[in-house]
Chain A
Amino acid sequence: MNIGILNIQGDVSEHYDFIKKLGKKYGVSPLLVKNNNDLNNVSGLIIPGGESTVIYNILVKNNMYDNIINLNKNGLYIMGTCAGAIILSEDTSDIRVKGMGLIDIKIKRNAYGRQINSFIENIYIKHIGNFSAVFIRAPEIEEYKNSELLSEYNNKPVFVRNKNVLALTFHPELTGDSSIHEYFIKNILENEAGSNHAQQ
C-alpha cells in the first residue's frame, strides 16, 4: 500500500522518511506525488507543511486541486499538516488560498504571529496520547463543525478529524515521534479491512 506525500513544496522529505521507517511494520511504502498520475497509485495522501499560497497555486496549475477533492470523496485518506490543513479547510478567510472544503473548519493563517512566536507545546491527542507539538508560523482553527476534536491548545482546536480527513496545525514530521503517522496509517488499514469484509 502506498502512502503519497504531496511533493510540491515544503518539508516533503521528513514525511517521506517517517513513512519509509514505518514501512515494514504496516506494509506501506512512501510515494512522492507530483501529478495526477501519481495520485492514482496511493491509498493515503499527506499534504505537508510549507507555504500554503505556493502549494495552492501549483495544485491548481497542475490540475490536481479538483482531482484531490474528488478522490477524497471517493475514499482517499488525507492528512494535512499546517499549510496542508489550510488547503483542506472549508474557510481560510484569505483570498490568496482557497480551501478544498474537505473538513468543516474555519482556519486563520499565521494566527500566532511571526516566526519569533513559533513554539513547542506538549498536548494530549485523543486516540494517540501525549505529543510534543511543534508550531511554526502556525494557523489557528477558529471554528470546527461536523468533525471530531482530537486535540486542542489554549481552548482552540489544533487537530480535528472528519472521517477520512485529518487536519492538524503543527508539524509531527519535525519530531522523532511517529505516533500521528501511525494513527493515520491505521485508519487507512482499518478502513480497507472493513470494506474487504463488507465485500465478502
Chain B
Amino acid sequence: MLDLKTLKFGDELLKRGFAKMTKGGVIMDVTTAEQAKIAEKSGAVAVMALERVPADIRKEGGVARMADPLKIKEILDSVSIPVMAKVRIGHLSEAYVLESLGVDMLDESEVLTPADPFYHINKKLYKVPVVCGARTFPEAVRRIFEGAAMIRTKGEAGTGNIVEAMRHIRAVEDGIYILRDLTNDELYKVAENISKTYISLRDITSGELLGNENKLPYDNVYYDMDYKTINDNIFRVLKEIKRMRRLPLVNFAAGGVATPSDAALMMKMGMDGVFVGSGIFKSKNPEKMARAVVEATENYEDYKSIADVSSGLEGMEGLEMENIEKLQDRGN
C-alpha cells in the first residue's frame, strides 16, 4: 500500500484534491446568503463570498477588504456547496480569520486592496487551500511555489471584458510551451529569473544603505527562506510543469467572464472551469444568467445549446481597458 497519511505532502494532496472537485464547474461571486442560494440552485459548483462584486468596487472605490464575518457565516449556513472567500494579497491575518470561520478555500485576490506591497501569503501555513490569480507564467509559478492549490487568470474583474483573461491564458500557455526544450541548466536560469521578485526589497534596502556596488546577502528574504532555497524550489515547480506540459494544479479562468459564450471560450482554451464575478448578479436576470453560464461551461462545444441559453439574456455592461484602473497589476 502507498501510505499517504505519513507523507509530508498529505496536506497538499487534500488541498489540490479539493480544487480538483470543482473542475468543469462555475464558481460564482456572491455578497449575501440570498445570492448564494440562487447560485447553488442554478448549478454553481461553489460560491465566492466577498463584500462587493468587482464592478461595484470599481465604481465606488475605497479600500476593499474581506467580507464581514457575519455575512460569511450567513453564506456558510445557507448552502451545501463549498464556500470560498476573498482575502487581500498578503493579509496573513484575514486569511487566518477566514480559515477559522470554516471557509473551504481562500482566494488571495487582486480584486481587494492589497495589504502587503511586497509579498503574497505563504499559503503552505494554512490548512485550507488557496487560489491565486496570475497574469503571466512567472506569476503562476511563484504562486505555486508559495503553496497555491489552484491558479486562475486575473483577467480584469468587473469589466465584463474577456480580453485580459484571454491575454493571461495565452501568456501562461506560452511559458509552458517554452519550457519544452530547455535543459536543466537553462531551467535553473529561468528559476533564478522568476525568483527575482523575492529579492527586490533586499535590493532596495541594499541600495539605500550601501549604495549599489555592495549587496546585502539574500538570506531570509521570504518566510525565512534565502534566494538559493527559493530558486531550488521554483526549479522543482518548473520541472514538474515541463514534465506535465501544463500547470500541475487546477487552472480556472476569471476576470471579465460576462456571457455564456465567454465561459465556453474559456473552456475551449483548455481552462478547468470558470469564476464569474459581476457577470451574474450585475445582469438583468441573475438566475437565468447563472444557469446559462453553467450550461455553456458544461457543454462548451454545443453551440446550438449555447445559442439557446444565451437568447434574450441581458448581460452586464462592459468596460474598455483604456482609462480604467487595472486591478490585475496588483501583486506580481
Contact = CB atoms under 8 A, between A and B. Distances in A.
Interface of A: 7-14, 49-51, 53-54, 57-58, 82-83, 94, 96, 109-110, 113-116, 118-122, 129-132, 134, 136-137, 171, 174-177
A175 B23 contact: no
A110 B80 contact: yes
Contact of B18 (A121, A132, A137): A137
Interface in B75-126: 76, 80-82, 99, 102-105
Interface stretch (B2-10, B158-166, B201-209, B277-285): B2-10
B260 to A, nearest CB: 15
Interface stretch (B40-48, B60-68, B134-142, B321-329): B40-48
B330 interface: no
A106 to B, nearest CB: 17
A55 to B, nearest CB: 9
B102 A116 contact: yes
Given A50-B23, A53-B80, A136 B18 contact: yes
B4 A94 contact: no
Given A51-B21, A96-B80, A130-B1, 6 more contacts: A11-B21, A51-B22, A109-B80, A110-B80, A115-B129, A136-B14
B293 interface: no
Contacts of A129: 1
B10 A120 contact: yes
A174 B99 CA distance: 24
Nearest to B16: A174
10 contacts: A7-B24, A9-B24, A50-B25, A51-B45, A51-B46, A51-B82, A94-B80, A134-B17, A174-B13, A174-B17
B180 interface: no
Contacts of A53: 40, 43, 80-81
Q: Which of B13, B20, B45, B128 has the most CB of A within 10 A?
A: B20
B298 interface: yes
A116 B99 contact: yes
B189 interface: no
B17 A171 contact: yes
Main secondary structure of the interface of B (DSSP, over half): loop
B81 A51 contact: yes
A14 B5 CA distance: 20
Contacts of A109: 80
Contact of A9 (B18, B23, B104): B23
B183 to A, nearest CB: 28
B127 interface: yes
Contacts of B128: 115-116
B17 A136 contact: yes
Contacts of A110: 80
Q: Which of under 10, 10 to 19, 20 to 34, or 35 or more describes the interface residues of B?
A: 35 or more
Given A51-B21, A134-B13, A115 B105 contact: yes
A3 B122 CA distance: 41
A14 B14 contact: no
B25 A120 contact: no
B199 to A, nearest CB: 34
Contacts of B14: 115, 118-120, 134, 136
Contacts of B3: 122, 132
Contacts of B23: 9-13, 50
B79 to A, nearest CB: 9
A50 B5 CA distance: 22
The 5 closest A-B pairs by CB, nearest first: A115-B104, A132-B4, A9-B24, A130-B1, A11-B20
B197 to A, nearest CB: 29
A112 B45 CA distance: 19
A58 B42 CA distance: 11
B2 A49 contact: no
B18 A54 contact: no
A10 B5 CA distance: 23
Given A9-B45, A115-B129, A137 B5 contact: no
Interface in B28-82: 40, 43-46, 76, 80-82
A137 B82 contact: yes
A114 B22 CA distance: 15
A110 B234 CA distance: 35
Nearest to A61: B295
Q: Which of B1, B45, B46, B103 has the most CB of A within 10 A?
A: B1
Nearest to B100: A116
Contact of B5 (A9, A11, A94, A122): A122
